[in-house]
Amino acid sequence: MAKNEQKLGDYRIFVGAFPTGDLADRIQAVRQRHDAVTARRTAPHVTMAGSYSRSGPATLENEAETIARLQAVQDRIRPFELMLGGIRSFLPENPVVYLHVEPTDGLLAARRILLEALGPDHPRRFTPHLTLAMHLGRDETQSLYRELQQSEWQTGRWSVLVDHLWLMQRAPDDPAWRYIYRMGLTGKA
């Protein structure tokens, strides 16, 4: 393949719900302390749809159709609460430790509408979660899992109003995901 040619899957996109404020800062501090790679790549979030592989350069213009599809459905999505709390893991399959996200009716309704607009995203079952660490070895992951289960992250519960979602984009050589479109949720239609 010539240097300027692009191959399938040149970049990826996803739509995410991003907590803000003090809670997001506290979650990010946990991520920075235990998995700086994950913390640098994106702010704490719940992936609502994605990630989708795309071909071509990672530009805003290449996602114009995706943005138009999101604009066409954003009035159908009502603001919803992210209900966070409890430490979980995808061990032994994947070395991921995450903050549990309750699959509420509002969250699932928003996801259904996003998938109608963007198409299916995962061949496996959807597990809403907020990743705390995913770039550790298995032993480190197990140790972190046990440590966080003894913390406020296991016993505490937090509710975050989501009134907008973000379309994110990242090419393989990008150091972090980029925010490319803010999708306001009004639930008018």
- Model pLDDT, residue 189: 56
Q: How confident is the model at residue 9 (pLDDT cuts 50, 70, 90)?
A: low
Sign of dihedral through CA atoms 169, 174, 175, 180?
Answer: negative
pLDDT tens readout for residues 58-110: 999 999 999 999 999 999 999 999 999 999 999 999 999 999 999 999 999 99
pTM: 0.91
Q: Strand, coil or helix: what is 49?
A: strand
- For the domain made up of 11-184, the CATH class stated in words is alpha beta
Residue 133 has pLDDT above 60, yes or no: yes
How far is Cα 144 from Cα 31, in angstroms, rounded to an integer?
11
Whether pLDDT at 124 is above 90: no
What are the φ and ψ backbone dihedral angles of 157, each rounded to 5 degrees? -135, 135
Predicted confidence (pLDDT) at residue 135 exceeds the cutoff of 50: yes
For the CA atoms of 111, 116, 121, 124, what is the dihedral angle to 10 degrees? 70
For residue 38, give both structure tokens: 């994950």
pLDDT given for residue 19 in this prediction: 96
When the pLDDT of each residue in the chain is averaged and rounded to a whole number, the result is 93
Instruction: List C-alpha distances in Å: 114 to 132, 138, 142, 177, 183.
Output: 24, 33, 33, 19, 11
Question: Which among 72, 188, 95 has a CA at the least distance from the CA of 145?
Answer: 95
Q: What is the pLDDT of residue 3?
A: 40
CA distances from 20 to 29, 35, 43, 171, 172 (A): 13, 20, 9, 25, 26
Higher pLDDT, 121 or 17: 17
| Domain residue ranges in the chain | 11-184
Ranges of beta strands (E only) in 18-79 are 46-54
Backbone φ/ψ region at 119: left (φ over 0), alpha (ψ -120 to 50), beta: left
The pLDDT value given to residue 2: 40
